[in-house]
A and B are shown apart, each in its own frame.
Chain A
Amino acid sequence: MRFTDAVEFALASLRKRRLRTLLTASGVMIGIGALVSMISFGKGMQKNVTEAFKASDLFTTLMVMPGGADVPSRDPARPRRPAETAGRAGAVLDDAAVDEISQIPGVRTAYPDVSFPALIALEGEEEFRLVQVVPAAVAASNAVRVGWGRAYASDDEEGVVVSRSLARRLGTDEPAAAVGKTLRITSVSIDLGELASLDLAGLFSGKGLPVAREVYDFPIVGVTEITAFGGGPSPVQNDVIIPPGTARRIKRLPITSIWDLFRLRDGRLGYSAASVKLGSLRDLEPVKSRVSEMGFTTFALADQFDEITKAFYFMDMILAAVGMIAIVVAALGIVNTMVMSILERFREIGVMKAVGAGDGDIRRIFFFESGTIGLLGGAAGCVLGWAVSLVINRVVNFYMARQGMPDIDYFAFPFWIFLGAVGFSLLVSLVSGIYPARRAARVDPVIALRHD
């Protein structure tokens, strides 16, 4: 029997049982639709995160920590990654060291991670926040996305950049309106005069620390956008950023936590970390080795990206497994339909055999029938999965827009998803057709022709 004849036979018998074909194909459609939307969601997440990483210059950012510092690791059994260069204890990450790092070829800027707690006030509304010190060069880069106004122009400009969410919390819903307003930063410092006369007994008897409050006013020059996923693990994460020159004039505690005091060495208090901006990813390895020669611990997110990719594979697999449940149900539906079809066409199979159909011919007809159901369901499933994703995307973005979040495509549809889905659907339907096709081929014509 020719290929085209087998296709024609299959289509004719599917047409004859139109409703059942439609219902069975619908089962496949739902399964494939679920799979397509699941996988496209996984791919969408991966795409968004990857792009956020790329856009925020994280791949060309190197974190430098003082010698002996713990390197963040995803593996709890090995908090320190041996592949990374753990610096020797004793190297202090101070201004001189940061300066030296910034002289290494390939380094665009190096700046210490400095932040201090402060009371932030805008037109009467106030909140406690960490203020981060970020050089103007970095504030103007992709690491900080200024959506309204501008980044400060120099390291000494009297101006701050705030996040949109902070502006909102402080009562300014329209971010453009926040630009130009005055932000009041109240910092705390130790009153040295009082510290001298303080005795320990007094310190612990509840008199309190001898702290002084300092109040500074700065104009808001820019407001940052809220990026999807918080912009990824960006080196600039705080709601208020301020240029270093200006920050130097603010009287404040030199520490953000008590832990900083443990790092005191030879009376010198280094920074807890510094960020190094590289010119390109190619500079990463040479700069890393130079920095570790200086005795510091380095950490590059680019190195971690493989693990993030692995995590996404894992997520894809879980999503696909959920989608597979529907596929298995659909496959059973195909088997059921085809077995029913054999019972109904028992006599017809007998007739075909009596006039010379071989086992292979009968198998082929049934195989093509289930294959056609798979193709139909697969194609429809692609449309369904795509449509459902579109609706979900709309709905989610509608609610996210109320939170001030930008529109994001949560689903990604590379063309291979559709090709793969139709191919997979065909494969599943053919596998589902194996048993019915074999059973049909085994029909005994003598019994089938006696059958009424």
Chain B
Amino acid sequence: MNAPPIIQTRSLAKTYLIGDVRVAALEDVTLAVAEGRFMAVTGASGSGKSTLLNLLGGLDTPSAGTIEVDGALVSAMNREALARYRRFGAGMIFQSFNLVPARTALENVELPLVFSNVDKKERKRRAAELLEKVGLAHRANHRPSQLSGGEQQRVAVARALANGPRLLLADEPTGNLDSRTSREIVGLLAELNRGRRLTVVMVSHEESLVREYAHDVVRLRDGRIVGTESRA
């Protein structure tokens, strides 16, 4: 851990108001992720893993504390700046893939490029290249419903990388996949992490995969960090 941290959170907290009751989803989370690392966040369901990832991905805003990514103070960004951050700063993948059902694999990968004003020809070229990288060039014109779970998640990975972010956030990416496919997907993330110096933060509760691929592991319970482990 001698590289400078690309992610630095300080006393991060998120509380939700459910009815009249304040529920703390995340409390006092101070965390650093060095560039080029593969970090896993584990914990029981309801421990605040997804909340943490949504905050890191700029989808949600913290109730207290700060998030700094690559020198930029994400926690202080307005809506428009957050949109730009999601576009260029951090790619996200999800347990339920979240592809647009009406669009083909290629068009799904193109989507982030549409919002970054890349022209159509260049968009197609880059999207095709990314699909090839995740091994799906032959499925480019299929719709999500015609793809297997593993294939859909590969499309999602390609989409997350479309604008060339330095950070990839994965929210239980294997939750809807069988164990063999899960291994393939996490293997793909590890490969991208090695090959492109892409920093990966993955939420997962599959201990075997976490042990096998992650450099750092952060354990959460009831919204607090209860343990961190690192291997070199």
Interface residues of A (CB under 8 A from B): 1-2, 4-5, 9, 12-13, 16, 347-348, 350-361, 445-446, 449
Residues of chain B within 8 A of A2, CB atoms compared: 114, 117, 119
Q: Check if B199 is an interface residue, CB within 8 A of chain A.
A: no
A359 with B79, Cβ < 8 A, contacts A1-B114, A352-B115, A446-B54 known: yes
Q: Check if B232 is an interface residue, CB within 8 A of chain A.
A: no
Q: Among the listed stretches B84-92, B207-215, B223-231, which one makes contact with chain A, having 4 or more residues with CB under 8 Å of it?
A: B84-92
Q: Check if B112 is an interface residue, CB within 8 A of chain A.
A: yes
A348 with B83, Cβ < 8 A, contacts A356-B88, A446-B60 known: no
Residues of chain B within 8 A of A449, CB atoms compared: 59, 94, 98
CA distance A4 to B100 in the complex (A): 20
CA distance A446 to B159 in the complex (A): 18
State whether B87 touches A355 (Cβ < 8 A): yes
Known: A5-B114, A352-B115. 9 other contacts (CB 8 A): A2-B114, A9-B114, A13-B102, A16-B102, A353-B86, A354-B86, A355-B111, A355-B115, A355-B162
What is the minimal beta-carbon distance from A313 to any residue of chain B, in angstroms?
47
State whether B115 touches A356 (Cβ < 8 A): yes
| 18 interchain pairs, CB-CB under 8 A | A13-B102, A347-B98, A351-B99, A351-B111, A352-B111, A353-B83, A354-B57, A354-B92, A355-B115, A356-B84, A356-B112, A356-B163, A357-B87, A357-B115, A358-B84, A359-B80, A361-B83, A446-B60
Q: Check if B145 is an interface residue, CB within 8 A of chain A.
A: no
Residues of chain A within 8 A of B162, CB atoms compared: 355
What is the minimal beta-carbon distance from A382 to any residue of chain B, in angstroms?
31
Among residues of B, the one whose C-beta sits closest to the C-beta of A359 is B79
Q: Check if B146 is an interface residue, CB within 8 A of chain A.
A: no
State whether B59 touches A356 (Cβ < 8 A): no
Residues of chain B within 8 A of A357, CB atoms compared: 83, 87, 115
Interface residues of B (CB under 8 A from A): 54, 57, 59-60, 79-80, 83-84, 86-88, 92, 94, 98-100, 102, 111-112, 114-117, 119-120, 159-160, 162-163
Residues of chain A within 8 A of B57, CB atoms compared: 354
What is the minimal beta-carbon distance from B183 to any residue of chain A, in angstroms?
25
Residues of chain B within 8 A of A12, CB atoms compared: 102
State whether B112 touches A355 (Cβ < 8 A): yes
State whether B100 touches A348 (Cβ < 8 A): yes
Among residues of A, the one whose C-beta sits closest to the C-beta of B118 is A2
Residues of chain B within 8 A of A356, CB atoms compared: 83-84, 86-88, 112, 115-116, 163
Closest 7 pairs (CB-CB, A-B): A356-B87, A358-B83, A355-B112, A356-B115, A356-B86, A357-B115, A445-B59
